[in-house]
Each structure stands twice: as C-alpha cells, then as structure tokens.
Amino acid sequence: MSVLLYENSDLEAFREINSSLAGLDSLDILRWAFQTYGDELVYACSFGAESMVLIDLISKVKPDAQILFLDTDFHFIETYQLIEEVKKKYPQLRIDLEKPGLTPKQQAELHGDKLWKTNPDLCCKIRKLDPLEGQLNQKKAWISGLRREQSPTRANTQFVNQDHRFESVKICPLIHWKEDEIWMYIKLHKLPYNKLHDQNYPSIGCTHCTKQVADGQDSRSGRWANTDKTECGLHQ
Ligand code: SF4
C-alpha cells in the first residue's frame, strides 16, 4: 500500500484506506503504520492507561519506535515516575520529553499568573499544541490512543484520520477497545501504570487541570472540571 500523505489525500482516499484495514486488530494496524511510515511515524503519548497498552504493542512491532511526551512542566510527580519505569521496561524505545518554548516563569511574566485559569486554550496552545506542531512538522504521521467510547467527540474516530490541525495523518489503533479491556491487558501483562489511576483519576493531565472523579462519573469529567473545555485541542 502506498505511503499516504496529507497533502495529496482527500476524504475518499482515507475512506479507502480505512475500508482496507477494517477488521484488523491493533497490532496489525501498528504493523501497517510502521511499514507505511517507518521513522516518519511518532507516538504522541500521554502515559495514561491506553498509553501503557499502546507502548507494549508498539514495542512488539518496532522496539526502537519514537515516543513523544509533551512535558508541560505541570505534570504530576507520579506521571514522571511512570515515565522512568517505562524507560526501564522498554530500554530500546526512544522516549523524548518535549518542552514548551516558555518556562512557567516566562509564561507568567508574559501572560499573567494562572493562565490555565484565565485562558486555558492559550495555555494548552503554548504548552502542548505548539510543541507538538513543531515535532509533527518533521514527521508524516502520528499515533494516538483515542478510543471511540471515551467521549461523543471521539465516537467517529477511524484507524487512519486526516488531521487538519497539524496537517498530518493520525493513526488510532485502539478505537474499538473498551475501558475494561484496557485494564484487563494492563493487569494480564503486568504493565506499569500511573498510580493516580488507583485514586479515582481515570484521565490524567496537568496538575492544574485534573481532578479526582466521583464513582460512576464520566472518565474525562475530571479534566478542566467546571469549565466548557473538554479537550486540549490536540484532537479536532
Ligand atoms: S492542561 Fe491546563 S495547565 Fe496543562 S497546558 Fe492545558 S491549560 Fe495549561
């Protein structure tokens, strides 16, 4: 199958690709993705529960794959500890921590204290979107752990997606996975995971914008709680 480039691809091309991949499992999707894009493919990893499954699957397909973590400077200590655990378990993987162009101090000087409260979209742009854009400009495609059941905005996600935001191709091998299947895989394979998941943090981002959720609440309700914001803008 030929390399799929964003610039010369239309909706029909994506439909055809997804139709040809329908019925494949996540490992086969990853095999196709690395065969198609090789080193031009990067996994933008949040180190959430889905990430643990994806990292394990990716390590079986391409042990030296590049994994990118957007290090906003505002992550929980448990997240940084998990990254160190993953580095030890998968020493061949190339795990890069990508920093924003502004330190927290520079951001406060330019935009005021607590930008995550006064203008969270700008904060996410500075600390997540711009750094990811800088990396994706050098690549042809990226992998994401989106699952369809996570939210209505993710319900129509395909294995291979046109990514207008970054003018790239976004590959989502886990679209059909349910949350209990993610956890079954993690437990079965004794994978490391963020210890905050055991304390009612189903979805973990920056400390300023992540809260515990009550039992039975939507898994992403702890992100930007009490605001209209539901996504950082990476997935549009
Ligand atoms: S999640 Fe919150 S703290 Fe993190 S970059 Fe976005 S607005 Fe800023």
Give the Cβ contact number of residue 52 at 10 Å: 26
pLDDT for 222 beyond 60: yes
**116 CB under 6 A from ligand 1?**
yes
**Which of 209, 223, 227 for a ligand 1 pocket mutation test, highest count of atoms within 8 Å of Cβ?**
209
- pLDDT band of 1, cuts 50, 70, 90: very low
pLDDT for 87 beyond 80: yes
Report all structural domains of the chain as residue ranges with CATH numbers, in order of start: 11-198 (3.40.50.620)
**Which of 123, 211, 230, 235 for a ligand 1 pocket mutation test, highest count of atoms within 8 Å of Cβ?**
123
Query: With the C-alpha atoms ordered 60, 61, 65, 70, is the resulting torsion angle positive or negative?
Result: negative
**What's the mean per-residue pLDDT of the chain?**
91
Q: Whose CA is nearest to atom 4 of ligand 1?
A: 206
> Is 172 among the annotated ligand-binding positions?
no
Closest ligand 1 atom, CA of 223? Answer: 1
How far apart (Å, rounded) are the C-alpha atoms in residues 71 and 223?
Answer: 17
pLDDT for 58 beyond 60: yes
Helical (H) or strand (E) element with 20: helix 11-21
- pLDDT band of 236, cuts 50, 70, 90: low
Longest dimension (CA), the chain: 51
- pLDDT band of 40, cuts 50, 70, 90: very high
**30 CB under 6 A from ligand 1?**
no
- Residues 89, 192 contacting (CB under 8 angstroms): yes
Q: Whose CA is nearest to atom 5 of ligand 1?
A: 124
In tens, the pLDDT along 121-177 reads 999 999 999 999 999 999 999 999 999 998 888 999 999 999 988 889 999 999 999
Structure confidence at residue 2 (pLDDT)? 45
Structure confidence at residue 105 (pLDDT)? 98
Structure confidence at residue 54 (pLDDT)? 98
> Is 206 among the annotated ligand-binding positions?
yes
Q: CA of 4: how far to CAs of 133, 173, 230, in Å?
A: 19, 16, 30
**55 CB under 6 A from ligand 1?**
no
**124 CB under 6 A from ligand 1?**
yes
Of 115, 172, 204, 232, which one is the catalytic site residue? 232
User: What is the β-pairing status of strands 66-70 and 41-44?
Assistant: parallel
DSSP labels, 132-172:
HHHHHTT-SEEE----GGG-GGGTT--SEEEETTTTEEEE-
- pLDDT band of 183, cuts 50, 70, 90: very high
Distance 69 CA to ligand 1 centre (A): 14
- pLDDT band of 84, cuts 50, 70, 90: very high
Distance 145 CA to ligand 1 centre (A): 19
> Is 209 among the annotated ligand-binding positions?
yes
172 is a catalytic site residue: no
Structure confidence at residue 221 (pLDDT)? 66
